[in-house]
Amino acid sequence: MKEGIHPKYKEVKAVCACGESFMTGSTKDKIHVDICSKCHPFFTGKQKIVDAEGRVDKFRKKYSKK
């Protein structure tokens, strides 16, 4: 690798919207995520719809039987 052109890779704290935090490697100083392994439906086994922009409601409204 060439010297001086690559960003510094360091250990940072990632924080989830559910409140969980964990350490990971990144070139950024802070990481904020919406879903982590503690709250993701695949890992928890619970069905949970994560809709930050209203896409689910828009889909249901568009394709609902009237």
Domain limits of the chain? 10-63
Other beta carbons within 10 Å of 38: 13
Reading the chain (66 residues) residue by residue, the pLDDT tens digits are 688 898 889 999 999 988 889 999 999 999 998 888 787 766 667 766 666 677 778 888 888 876
Q: Please tell me the distance from the alpha carbon of residue 25 to that of residue 60, in angstroms, as a whole number.
A: 39
pTM for the full model? Answer: 0.55
Range 10-63 has CATH code 2.60.120.10: no
At 1 the pLDDT is 66
3-state secondary structure of 13: strand
Q: Please tell me the distance from the alpha carbon of residue 11 to that of residue 29, in angstroms, as a whole number.
A: 9
At 49 the pLDDT is 64
